A and B are shown apart, each in its own frame.
Chain A
């Protein structure tokens, strides 16, 4: 049962425009959400996170929005750059509730930024 879902397998965006990647989750015990970025032949690398007590977190060109009532989060990248082309994974944790900080991952969205 996939508790974290990324329904768009791929997304193409022009350089300089905004990229919006979406993620939905089903487990209401999730209290911490993360985005990871993955290049080919490498492991995922942490990008940005948000606690369930917030609805927005910003770090440079990256902003994550959380809508708890809709169980939905999104990652905005603006402006998008060719180097942002990668697979983006949404992940969630229920560490506060369960004491275990293992992550539940979505299936990923492949972002292509076109120069």
Chain B
């Protein structure tokens, strides 16, 4: 158990809909990352927050947005969903933003868009 929790575990929805994925980081970790893993792909970095502020952005679509709340949990919002958004979405947390701050990953949320 990494200490990072993600809800829900599975989500099935239809094209055009909007969903929210939730992540609670390990106790004390200030940095939260979101990654997307599509079929047979590596994890693709989407976005990082540090202590409530956006820290880095990857190839995140404009239809996607995220935020980190004062209690440090984070939410990833996906809207106008398309079939290609079906993927595993992982959240990770780390103590800080240094390269040797180990990232601990949650179990992921599997999103299926029908």
Interface of A with B (CB < 8 Å)? Answer: 2, 4, 6, 31-32, 36, 41-46, 49, 89, 91, 93, 95-96, 99-108
The 7 closest A-B pairs by CB, nearest first: A43-B105, A95-B99, A105-B42, A100-B56, A105-B43, A102-B45, A32-B99
Supply 30 A–B pairs (Cβ within 8 Å), ascending by A.
Answer: A4-B42, A32-B99, A36-B105, A41-B107, A43-B2, A43-B4, A43-B92, A43-B107, A44-B90, A44-B105, A45-B2, A45-B104, A46-B104, A89-B42, A89-B43, A95-B98, A99-B97, A100-B48, A101-B97, A101-B98, A102-B33, A102-B45, A102-B48, A102-B56, A103-B33, A103-B45, A103-B103, A104-B45, A105-B35, A107-B42
A-B pairs with beta carbons under 8 A, tally: 66
Inter-chain contact A101/B42, CB cutoff 8 Å: no
B58 at the interface (CB under 8 A from A): yes
Residues of A within 8 A of B108 (CB): 43
In the bound complex, CA of A102 to CA of B92 (Å): 10
Residues of A within 8 A of B4 (CB): 43
B76-99 near A? 1/0 per residue, CB < 8 Å: 000000000000001010100111
Question: A105 with B44: in contact, given A32-B99, A44-B90, A45-B2 (CB under 8 Å)?
Answer: yes
Residues of B within 8 A of A107 (CB): 40-42
Inter-chain contact B106/A43, CB cutoff 8 Å: yes
Residues of B within 8 A of A89 (CB): 42-43
Q: Which residue of B lies closest to A90 (CB)?
A: B42
Inter-chain contact B42/A108, CB cutoff 8 Å: yes
Q: Which residue of A lies closest to B102 (CB)?
A: A46
